Amino acid sequence: MATRWFGAPVQRLEDPRLLRGKGTYVDDIELPQLLHAALLRSPHAHAKIANIDASAAMALPGVYLVLTAVDLGEVLEPSPLLVPHAALEQPRTQLPLALDEVRYVGEAVAMVVAESRYLAEDALDLIDVDYEPLPVVHSLDVATREDAPLVHADVPGNVAAHLVQQVGDPDAIFASAPHVLRESLLIDRGAAMPMECRGIVAQWDALEEKLTCWISTQAPIPIRNGLAAIFHLPEHKVRVVAPDVGGGFGTKIMMFYPEEILTPFAARLLGRPVKWIEDRREHFISANQERSQEHEVEYAFDEQGTLLAVRDRFLHDAGAYTPYGIIVPIITACTLPGPYRLRHYASEFTVLYTNKVPVSPYRGAGRPHAVFVMERVMDGIARELQLDRLEVRERNFIAPDEFPWDVGLVYQDGGPTKYDSGNYQAGLEKLKALLDYEHFHEQQASARAQGRYLGIGIGCYVEGTGIGPYEGALVSVESDGRVHATTGVTSQGQAHATTLAQIVAEQLGVAIQDVMVTTGDTHAFSWGVGTYASRSATVAGSAMHLAARKVREKAQQVAAELFEAAPEDIELAVGKVFVRDAPHRALTLGQVAISANPLRYAYGENARKLMGMKLAGPRPGPALPEERGAPGLEASAYYSPPHGSFASGVHGAIIEVDLTTGQVSFLKYAAVHDCGRLINPTIVEGQVHGGVAQGIGGAFYERLVYDETGQLSNASFMDYLLPTAAEVPPIVVDHVETPSPLNPLGVKGAGEAGVIPVAALFASAIDDALAPFGVRIREMPLHPCRLYELLQEARSQGK
């Protein structure tokens, strides 16, 4: 009986290396003659650059190069707009170095290359920039004022984009609905904060005229393509490698960050390799951020709590540029309906420029905002009708037999927002059991009798995952029987080397330890897009499955000839290939690979043994028969989903609020997650855990605070509070497996899910705990001081 790899909670193949400190992150790469770069960044949120004097910096011993915008020649072009959209009427992207105006604190102004990073930073202190400060747009409030200063002088009203979408006839429903409520809801800025900051090492090989870049990125292939275009190089002369990457969470899917252009530019100019490693302070002011939106939501419902229609208008803070188009607000608009049967929905958003760090997706990418809004709506209905909050949700759930369910909106990838499968009630049932929901109210009542305020909160969500366009994979059996599998998606900790190996091992009947996975090296595999939108397992995993299946079929074909049997009677198991019912006469997979490659010379143990076996001789005719195609056991395959697959889940928590201090503690946290078939449950659970921790951060600890001059007030880990082990409670995870009909594996994405419902359920739990005072949470993230204020407000209104 063959071992099943798919679905097994196997240990990770990448761990021994990482645990020994033998990983290779970008800053671990050392090259002969390596120089080090540092960036001068704008201290102003908005200013004209009148003059830059870098002479003193250039004169500092050990400094090799000081670059300002004027030194960049034809490379001084705005970064490409990644995802254009018709509604994005005023796209603006950033120059690699600011020329005459800076639009956020942290915008790159000059680059120094020196013998060491220490010296490069010394030189930064010697660059004299003459700034003329301009009025600052530090918030959405300022951006929308009638007399607002303009972030871009040629963008009226700071409006980058405006998009209206509609499903059904919401106006008619609102006109006749029994109940209509309206609320303003706010989500403030946060950031991904991977533990490894960004970084790049660029090497120019003058002999081969070849550029190699190691970048801490989620998208090496698009960067390779872009660098080739920017530097007028053939694509095969540019190699981009994402080595071990210390977390990304979306912030590293953005391209081009200025340094990704400047560092290779400098390396080519100097003829020496150059390294730039972002430090944490830079990361705070120059790596993209997310989340800030202001929603005005109206919702209509009937006496039974059936949601009839939603009208949501929101403002989205883009920061100073829109390199990633309007992906985030589109996802918000499309995620809002969630698991509910919403047939009448009007969505309208305006994307505004502000003098802040640009916005591009951070884990969740617009979804936590949408779920916060929709789950507030569900709670609002329950409150208004005095119904149980879960009962309201259950009444509105799309039923299992209603799939596929077309929400009726155009999704971020231009395809339909069409739920492929789901079973929302099943997830909620599991969650109720995990939290002992039925008995919570007794617990709550007895706690209240002792002056303790407990609350339970639930958050349901549907997550678009696994979008196109496509990914590919190449699977190749080596002569020693080990399998090399490559794909274009990269790993930032998601364990691709393990899960993709499981997919391949399942097809080829080998141990996962014999599957070597290479990701993120454009010289190993150069087609594909990148790791984002919870799509690696779905899209690259499916491609890997298809490629491995082709290899299996070819192995069967080759072995069938050798054994003079029918291909369908050939089995692959435990590294062996044999005729079913005759496993004693087996070839190793490596021997089949050797046989599939009709060389005159074959080496190694496998080849020697092969020669001693009495197998069918070669057929007459070409050594490589036409039907066999290519030599060896190798195949590539591509997978392009018809549209995204929609994962779902429900999380819940029991919390306690300290009325005096506004401090909140988690007593219980449970998550039920449905990402279709599980490739490796342990890894999926790990993804959920990490997402929840980031969600807790985004609900109660992490908030980027900009002052009215556009300075980030908390640009350090002392003041931007990432949760530690002492703040994150134990998390219980359970699964529902509703296979996706869209891909051969039946899988859906899992990477972002954990973070998505946390803000929503946290708000719900606080409302519940503080129900005696009538507190209603309308903003995220909170912090103890703010919660204290909200409680005071509610108390004074109650009196």
For residue 349, the tally of other CB atoms under 10 A from its CB is: 24
Contact 680, 442 (CB under 8 A): no
Residue 1, interface with another protein (CB under 8 A)?
Answer: no
Q: Which is nearer to another protein, 163 or 678 (CB)?
A: 678
Residue 122, interface with another protein (CB under 8 A)?
Answer: yes
Which of positions 226-245 make contact with another protein (CB under 8 A)?
A: 244-245
Q: Which of 2, 4, 22, 599 touches another protein (CB under 8 A)?
A: 22
- Choose among 108, 152, 124: nearest CA to 57: 124
Cβ at position 123, least distance to another protein in Å: 12
Cβ at position 134, least distance to another protein in Å: 25
Residue 693, interface with another protein (CB under 8 A)?
Answer: yes
Residue 151, interface with another protein (CB under 8 A)?
Answer: no
Cβ at position 391, least distance to another protein in Å: 30
Q: Which is nearer to another protein, 9 or 604 (CB)?
A: 9
**Which of these ranges, 341-349, 412-420, 574-582, 681-689, lies near another protein under the rule CB under 8 A?**
681-689
Query: E strand or H helix at 132, and its extent?
Result: strand 128-133
Q: Which is nearer to another protein, 278 or 379 (CB)?
A: 278
444 is written with which tokens? Answer: 């709550």
Residue 660, interface with another protein (CB under 8 A)?
Answer: yes
Residue 70, interface with another protein (CB under 8 A)?
Answer: no
Residue 644, interface with another protein (CB under 8 A)?
Answer: no
Residue 677, interface with another protein (CB under 8 A)?
Answer: no
Question: DSSP letter at 699?
Answer: I
Contact 769, 663 (CB under 8 A): no
Burial 465-493 (b: 16+ CB within 10 A, else e): bbbbebbbbbbbbbbebbbbbbbbbbbbb
Residue 19, interface with another protein (CB under 8 A)?
Answer: yes
Residue 689, interface with another protein (CB under 8 A)?
Answer: yes
Q: Which of 286, 322, 332, 492 touches another protein (CB under 8 A)?
A: 492
**SS3 assignment, position 289:** strand
For residue 616, the tally of other CB atoms under 10 A from its CB is: 11
- Choose among 713, 546, 724, 566: nearest CA to 639: 546
Which of positions 737-756 make contact with another protein (CB under 8 A)?
A: 754
Residue 61, interface with another protein (CB under 8 A)?
Answer: no
Phi, psi of 177 (to 5 degrees): -70, 145
Q: Which of 33, 53, 118, 631 touches another protein (CB under 8 A)?
A: 118
Q: Which is nearer to another protein, 306 or 682 (CB)?
A: 682
Q: Which is nearer to another protein, 520 or 662 (CB)?
A: 662
List CB contacts of 763: < 8 A, sequence separation 6 or more.
372, 375, 376, 379, 457, 699, 777, 780
Query: E strand or H helix at 427, and its extent?
Result: helix 424-435
**Which of these ranges, 116-124, 135-143, 150-158, 762-770, lies near another protein under the rule CB under 8 A?**
116-124
**SS3 assignment, position 345:** strand
Q: Which is nearer to another protein, 12 or 316 (CB)?
A: 12
Residue 494, interface with another protein (CB under 8 A)?
Answer: yes
- Choose among 789, 793, 767, 792: nearest CA to 778: 767
Which of positions 178-217 make contact with another protein (CB under 8 A)?
A: 192-197
Q: Which is nearer to another protein, 186 or 426 (CB)?
A: 186
Burial class (CB in 10 A: 0-12, 13-18, 19+), 716: exposed
Q: Which is nearer to another protein, 194 or 323 (CB)?
A: 194
Residue 448, interface with another protein (CB under 8 A)?
Answer: no
Rounded-to-10 torsion of CA 524, 526, 529, 535:
-40
Cβ at position 708, least distance to another protein in Å: 13
Residue 575, interface with another protein (CB under 8 A)?
Answer: no
**Which of these ranges, 12-20, 411-419, 540-548, 628-636, lies near another protein under the rule CB under 8 A?**
12-20
Residues binding another protein: number (CB under 8 A): 78
DSSP letters for 745-789: T-B---TTGGGTTHHHHHHHHHHHHTGGGT----EES--HHHHHH
Cβ at position 677, least distance to another protein in Å: 19
- Choose among 723, 603, 716, 628: nearest CA to 281: 716
DSSP letters for 134-175: -----SHHHHTSTT---SSTTSGGGEEEEEEEEES-HHHHHH
Q: Which of 16, 84, 583, 744 touches another protein (CB under 8 A)?
A: 16
747 is written with which tokens? Answer: 């899988």
Cβ at position 263, least distance to another protein in Å: 18
**Could you give the CA distance from residue 457 to residue 468 in angstroms, rounded to a whole number?**
34
Query: E strand or H helix at 592, and its extent?
Result: helix 589-595
Q: Which is nearer to another protein, 82 or 712 (CB)?
A: 712
Residue 764, interface with another protein (CB under 8 A)?
Answer: no
Residue 141, interface with another protein (CB under 8 A)?
Answer: no
Q: Which is nearer to another protein, 94 or 492 (CB)?
A: 492
Q: Which is nearer to another protein, 30 or 146 (CB)?
A: 30
Q: Which of 179, 280, 383, 484 touches another protein (CB under 8 A)?
A: 280
493 is written with which tokens? Answer: 């900790």
Residue 690, interface with another protein (CB under 8 A)?
Answer: yes
Contact 664, 657 (CB under 8 A): yes
- Choose among 700, 701, 699, 692: nearest CA to 651: 692
Residue 686, interface with another protein (CB under 8 A)?
Answer: yes
**Which of these ranges, 8-16, 219-227, 461-469, 569-577, lies near another protein under the rule CB under 8 A?**
8-16
Rg, Å, the chain Cα set: 28
Residue 725, interface with another protein (CB under 8 A)?
Answer: yes
List, in sequence order, every residue forming a beta bridge with 162; answer none if it has no partner.
350
Q: Which of 5, 6, 12, 215 touches another protein (CB under 8 A)?
A: 12
Cβ at position 163, least distance to another protein in Å: 32
Q: Which of 701, 740, 745, 763 touches another protein (CB under 8 A)?
A: 701
Residue 249, interface with another protein (CB under 8 A)?
Answer: yes
DSSP H helices in 533-579: 541-563
Question: DSSP letter at 556?
Answer: H
Q: Which is nearer to another protein, 366 or 493 (CB)?
A: 493
Q: Which is nearer to another protein, 286 or 347 (CB)?
A: 286
